[in-house]
């Protein structure tokens, strides 16, 4: 299946791109995160030890959310204000 993965704020800066198309056999959002983490290097910023929020088709989700073809999966750090 093909999905679009988007990265925001400090994650975008760490990975060096704002989005990428990904061909995956993953069934859940957490499986995609595992695939990206397995790449190593800059993708370590997606570690589960960090607070990283997930959105699937612009709706906040947890890692158990199911993927579908042409979905948009977004990773971003928590937003703070002041």
Q: Could you tell me the residue ranges of all domains in the chain?
A: 2-76
pLDDT value for 79: 72
Task: Enter the pTM of the model.
Answer: 0.92
The answer regarding whether domain 2-76 maps to CATH 1.10.20.10 reads: no
Residue 78 pLDDT class (50, 70, 90 cuts): confident
End-to-end CA distance of the chain: 40
Res 30 pLDDT > 90: yes
pLDDT at 69 over 90: yes
Say whether 39 sits in a helix, a strand or coil.
coil
Query: What pLDDT, on the 0 to 100 scale, is given for residue 80?
Result: 58
With a CB cutoff of 8 Å and minimum separation 6, the contacts of 36 are 5, 43, 46
């Amino acid at each position: 299946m093909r999905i679009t993965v988007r990265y925001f704020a400090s994650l975008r800066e760490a990975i060096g791109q704002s989005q990428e198309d990904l061909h995956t056999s993953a069934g859940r959002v957490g499986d995609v995160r595992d695939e990206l983490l397995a790449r190593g290097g800059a993708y370590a910023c997606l570690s589960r030890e960090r607070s990283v929020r997930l959105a699937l088709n612009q709706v906040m989700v947890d890692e158990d959310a199911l993927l579908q073809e042409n979905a948009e999966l977004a990773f971003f750090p928590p937003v703070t204000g002041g």
